[in-house]
Structure 1
């Protein structure tokens, strides 16, 4: 049962900060990007679509649609057809480049079906999970973690969180174990679906790599403790901004190489000064 994790899920006496892996990562990477994404209204000017994001979304959508089919229809050919049905060209250099990556992605999903057991129906597909938690056992919740997991499998008496990857580099066990997002999904999945969840997996479609990690209760608590620290900084900055604080001071920019492909580069002078912009297709897997 989820109680064995030792996390406290009792009714909280105070307002809790809701955080998702994406929000925490945004704030940790660049507080200004967080403000521009979630707080400033109307939403500041953004860049156009990125080809690598389009590619990732298409693959995710095709695999979700595949697992929504009866097991006997989850064939490599059908996977390729679903990829074509969900295909979009947004962010690619031109139609020729888009066609090249469409064909590659079709091969990825076909090989994924060929080399992985897809006969079992996941308990969750793009499933929203949520949990009030405190990293310290027996203490009232300090935050609510939430997010949408790509896939949640039920294997025996436990759940397994699966995250699809289409990036340039194949992940390894260290990346799976160190992923705060996967750890948060594991805890929230256990709370939402009332089953233990310790195993997390990164499935890299371009290489067929499956990077897995088995968490302990203690390793999950460590991830939550780090998330709690970021969540508290985020909450304090947001409350101070609401009270009239200076947004540029509370949410400073963190200029660096990532500014080249930041969605909010057109609205951030510091990001523009950090270097030239990236082409919308530069982060595609080679």
Structure 2
């Protein structure tokens, strides 16, 4: 007699855990993915990058700001938090670092001035995770990641991502961001509220690029994620079975090799492009 609800002859499908960072790294360069997540001991990396330091300081200052009571979230306090979080890693010298420190203070001060910072976020640097299906079948992925900020407006969640780079983002970037879409799906499942709106807040210009996802557009992003996840999982499993690392995870070279963290450990990357200076990607 058949067992109700059980099928002991079918092995449960393994769920692949993915984060936006892992998927983006594999899409960008499989070799970089392998060296970042699989190689042990970890290969040699470059030193710190000034643009990464700047971004981390701004993110940390804004998180600390929203941890304060609403009445203390002032422009002056936001600027002071930048000073408290600051470090000079990756900058040319103290003079350049000081110039960008003052610039970052102005960015966050202006952001607080023009934004409704009295709102209480649902999450700050919130880790969200959820099993999802990329088709009509059972779950095949666990999508997860850390969202900069999650707000609630009108009963729905909003994913907010801070940007400090050179280029001002637009609606197409917000809509096309696989990371934001994955956060939206995982947040909706984790926090049990609908989530369709995603926003990129560009601190240097004050621009807010937003997009409203539909269930179809979120599904398309999950399908893309599933395809990349399947490819990287096959490569990883084959490597574990003593496959050829260079063939399974080939270097995908280009201009980005100039500022790759793993450039010191990648001969192909060194040949593909000259080394960038650690401050070259700072917003002008």
- Within the alignment, does 1:135 sit opposite 2:169 as a pair? no
So what's the TM-score if we normalise by structure 1? 0.95
Alignment of 1:70-109 (within 5 A): 70-109=69-108
Select the residue among 231, 242, 245 that pairs with 2:243: 245
Partner of 1:258: 256
SS of residue in 2 equivalent to 1:90: coil
Q: d(CA) in 2 for partners of 1:234 and 1:44?
A: 20
Query: Which residue does the alignment assign to 2:114?
Result: 115
Q: Which residue matches 2:64? A: 65
SS in 1 for 2:130: strand
TM-score, scaled relative to structure 2: 0.96
After TM superposition, the structure 1 = structure 2 runs for residues 18-37 of structure 1, keeping only pairs within 5 Å, are 18-37=17-36
List per-residue Cα deviations over 1:127-169 (Å, max 9, x = no partner): 00001111223x1111111100000001121000000000001
1:120 counterpart SS class: coil
Cα offset for 1:94? 0.4
Q: Aligned pair 1:150/2:148, yes or no? A: yes
* 1:181-192 alignment, distance < 5 Å: 181-192=179-190
Local SS of the residue matching 2:243: coil
Question: In structure 1, how many angstroms separate the alpha carbons of the residues matched to 2:28 and 2:183?
Answer: 20
Alignment match of 2:165 (pick from 158, 164, 167): 167
Question: 2-side partners of 1:160 and 1:13: how far apart?
Answer: 34
Listed as ranges, the gaps of 5+ residues in structure 1 are 1-11
State whether structure 2 residue 261 is matched by structure 1 residue 269: no
| SS at 1:277 equivalent | coil
For 1:141 and 1:243, the matched residues in 2 are separated by 26
**Regions of 4+ moved over 2 Å:** none
User: Which residue does the alignment assign to 2:4?
Assistant: none
3-state SS of 2:166 partner: coil
Per-residue deviation, 1:14: 2.3
Give per-residue Cα distances to partners, 1:26-78, cap 9 Å, x unaligned: 00000000000000001000000000000000000000000000100000000
Q: Which runs of 5+ in 2 are unaligned?
A: 1-10
- Describe the SS at the equivalent of 1:96: helix
Aligned residues: 274
1:102 and 1:267 map into 2 onto residues whose CA distance is 32
Q: What is the CA deviation profile of residues 201-253 of structure 1, one whole-angstrom value per residue up to 9, with x for unaligned ones? A: 00000000000000000000000000000000000000000000010000000
1 CA distance for matches of 2:17 and 2:87?
32
In 1: Cα distance, 2:269 partner to 2:15 partner = 32
Could you say which residue in structure 2 is the equivalent of 1:7?
A: none
Q: Which residue of 2 aligns with 1:177?
A: 175
Provide the aligned C-alpha RMSD in A: 0.8
Aligned-pair CA distance for 1:110: 0.2
C-alpha distance in 2 between matches for 1:47 and 1:199: 36
C-alpha distance in 1 between matches for 2:255 and 2:18: 26
